[in-house]
Structure 1
Amino acid sequence: MLSIALEGLKFYAYHGLYPEEQVIGNYFLLDIEVSIPEPQHPSSLIESVNYEVLHAIAKRIMATPQPLLEQVVHDISVTIKSTFPAVSRSKVVLKKQAPPFGGDLTFSAVTLEKQY
C-alpha cells in the first residue's frame, strides 16, 4: 500500500450548529490521508492520487457550510473515493479551533476513516 497525505490544510469556514458560527465563521485544520495499491510505474501520476485534486476537493467542500463536521468529513471522503476509485482507505480529520461551548479547548475534532 502507498499512503498519500495532506496535513494541516487551513481554512476559514462557516460550519457549525449554532447560527453565530454560520455568520462569524471559524478556523479549521484538515488532514487527509489515502492509501492506494503500490503503482507499477511510480513515476506516472495517472496511477497515483494528485495532491492538487485532493486540495481542490477539500477547498470546494469546506466552502459549503454544514451544521455538523461529520457531514463535512463524509462529503470529502465520498468525493475522494468517486474521484480516485483506486483508493482503498481514506482518513479525514477535521479540527475546529475554539468551538463555542464555553470550555477552554484548542480544537474539537471529527475523524472519519474508511476501508474500501
Structure 2
Amino acid sequence: MLTIALEQATFYAYHGFYPEETIIGNTFVLDVAVRIPGTVPVDDLSETVNYQGIYEVASLVMAIPRPLLEEVVYELSDALKQRYPAIQHSTVTLRKMNPPMGASIRNSMVSLEKQY
C-alpha cells in the first residue's frame, strides 16, 4: 500500500455545537492519510492521490459549519473516496484547538479510520 498524507493543515472554521462557536469560530488542525494500492512504482500524478487535491477537498468540507466534529470527518472521508476511487483506507483526524470549555485544554480531537 502507498500512503499519501497531509499533516497539520490549519483552518479557521465555525464548527461547534454551541451558538457562540458558530459565530466566533476556532482554529482546527487536520491530519489526513489515505492509502492506495502500491504494487508498482508511480511515475505520473494521475496514478496516485494528489495531496493538493486532498487539501482542496478538505477546504470545501471545512468551509461548511457543522455542529459535531464527527460530521466533519465523515464528510471529508466520503468526499475523498468519491474524488479518488482508488483509496482503500483513510484516516482523518480533526483537532479543535483551545475548545471553549472553561478549562486549559490544548485541543479536542475526533479521528475516523475507514477501510473501503
Give your verdict on TM over 0.5.
yes
Identity of aligned residues (%): 50
- Structure 1 residue runs of 5 or longer lacking an equivalent are none
Give the aligned residue type for 2:80.
I
Residue 96 (structure 2) aligns with:
96
How far has the Cα of 1:41 moved from its partner? 4.4
Contact 1:39 1:47 in 2 (8 A): no
| Aligned-residue CA RMSD (Å) | 0.9
- Name the TM-score, length of structure 1 as normaliser: 0.97
Q: Residue by residue, what CA displacement relative to the aligned partner does 1:36-87 show, whole Å, maximum 9, x if unpaired? A: 0015341111110011110000001100000000000000000011111110
Greater than 2 Å deviation, 4+ residue runs: none
Residue 46 (structure 1) aligns with:
46
Q: Residue by residue, what CA displacement relative to the aligned partner does 1:4-45 show, whole Å, maximum 9, x if unpaired? A: 100010000000000000000000000000000015341111
Larger displacement relative to structure 2 (34-43 or 98-107): 34-43
Residue 26 (structure 1) aligns with:
26
Contact 1:39 1:48 in 2 (8 A): no
Secondary structure at the counterpart of residue 99 of structure 1? coil
Give the aligned residue type for 1:90.
S
Report how many aligned residue pairs link the two structures. 116
- Name the TM-score, length of structure 2 as normaliser: 0.97
